[in-house]
């Protein structure tokens, strides 16, 4: 019998798991035994999926049809979006209006900030235009350390395994559970490539929560940090999906990271850093 496991990464893994269980049940002559199939599936669970299974009622745990339905509801099909250019905020928004800081990842939606974040305009000053716009040939690998202040302060590293709704949250471990990323240093916002993600996705992505984005001081809008395909067309599942972009990360020479959001005209704002890259070679 094949060694089957399911950790609860995303909807695609759930679909493959269901198919695998059905194949085993068919090969064992148990395809019409819903109790056997549900109990067999339960011994294949691990990680987030195992924890989720403990919350199910006994009827669902012992009936394959109910279990299968609950599984697909918990890990739904991944949404497909149009290209990012059609989802950007309206170009009528002035580049003097700042974008609120990206919210540090957490296991639940963060409360509204008590004060608006400080922002710095970009893209128009003489100093900005004089900065060389070239990528480094040598990639940098590292972990993303998060240090946020305020009432919902949190410290740790971005986890390589997203939570059940697809957000990369904080882990205290900087070894087996910390997310490793790679990037080429640049003065422009860049992509952060995922090296050890538990998902099938390749890049770290900033995704607004909701579509009604208000870009002004004091706004409670925030970004979730999710995993994407690098083309801004497919992502880990997150409720309240809004505009998203992969090339939003501005990594300074110190390693500090800012999330940058541009409108269709190419102007926008950048946030104060809330996390930084720690070089793997210097850990």
Beta carbons within 10 angstroms of residue 57's beta carbon: 9
Reference 247, options 265, 259, 264, 263; nearest CA is 259
Contact criterion met (CB below 8 Å) for 146 and 278: no
pLDDT band at 278 (very low <50, low <70, confident <90, very high): low
Instruction: Write the pLDDT tens digit of every residue in 61-96.
Output: 999 999 999 999 888 875 443 333 333 332 222 223
pLDDT digits (tens, 9 = 90+) for 41-58: 999 999 888 999 999 999
Between CA 16 and CA 128 the distance in angstroms is 49
**For the chain, how many residues are written?**
283
Cα distances (angstroms) measured from residue 74 to each of 13, 185, 222, 235, 264: 12, 38, 24, 16, 35
Question: C-alpha distances in angstroms, 53 versus 7, 78, 152?
Answer: 11, 21, 29
The structure tokens listed for 82 are: 């149009």
- Per-residue model confidence (pLDDT) at position 12: 84
pLDDT at 175: 73
pTM: 0.48
Concatenated DSSP letters of 84-95:
GGGTSPPTTS-T
Distance between CA 273 and CA 258 in Å, rounded? 5
CA–CA gap between residue 250 and residue 260 (Å, rounded): 7
Pairing of strands 203-209, 223-228: antiparallel
Mean pLDDT of 151-174: 79
Check if the beta carbon of residue 245 is closer than 8 Å to that of residue 206: yes
Gyration radius (Cα) of the chain, Å: 21
- pLDDT surpassing 90 at residue 39: yes
Q: Provide the 3-class DSSP secondary structure of residue 8.
A: coil
Report the pLDDT value the prediction gives residue 214, as an integer from 0 to 100: 65
Scanning the structure block, which residue is given the tokens 């309240």? Answer: 240
Q: What is the DSSP letter of 235?
A: B
CA distance 70 to 56: 9
């Amino acid at each position: 019998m094949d060694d089957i496991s399911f950790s609860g990464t995303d909807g695609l893994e759930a679909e493959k798991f269901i198919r695998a269980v059905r194949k085993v049940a068919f090969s064992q002559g148990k395809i019409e035994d819903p109790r056997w199939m549900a109990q067999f599936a339960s011994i294949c669970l691990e990680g987030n999926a195992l924890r989720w299974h403990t919350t199910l009622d006994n009827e669902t745990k012992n009936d394959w049809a109910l279990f299968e339905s609950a599984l697909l509801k918990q890990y739904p099909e991944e949404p497909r979006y149009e290209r990012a250019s059609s989802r950007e905020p309206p170009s009528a928004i002035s580049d003097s209006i700042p974008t609120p800081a990206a919210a540090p990842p957490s296991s639940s939606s963060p409360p509204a900030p008590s004060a608006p974040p400080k922002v710095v305009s970009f893209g128009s000053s003489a100093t900005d235009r004089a900065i060389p716009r070239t990528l480094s040939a040598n990639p940098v690998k590292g972990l993303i350390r998060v240090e946020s202040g305020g009432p919902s302060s949190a410290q740790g590293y971005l986890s390589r395994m997203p939570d059940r709704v697809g957000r990369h949250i904080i882990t205290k471990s900087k070894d087996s559970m910390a997310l490793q990323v790679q990037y080429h240093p640049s003065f422009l916002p860049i992509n952060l490539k995922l090296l050890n993600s538990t998902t099938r996705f390749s890049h770290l992505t900033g995704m607004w929560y909701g579509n009604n984005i208000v870009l002004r001081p004091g706004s409670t809008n925030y970004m979730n940090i999710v995993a994407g395909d690098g083309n801004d067309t497919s992502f880990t599942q997150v409720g309240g999906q809004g505009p998203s972009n992969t090339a939003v990360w501005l990594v300074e020479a110190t390693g500090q990271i800012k999330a940058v959001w541009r409108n269709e005209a190419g102007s926008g704002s950048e946030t104060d850093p809330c996390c930084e890259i720690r070089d793997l070679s210097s850990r």
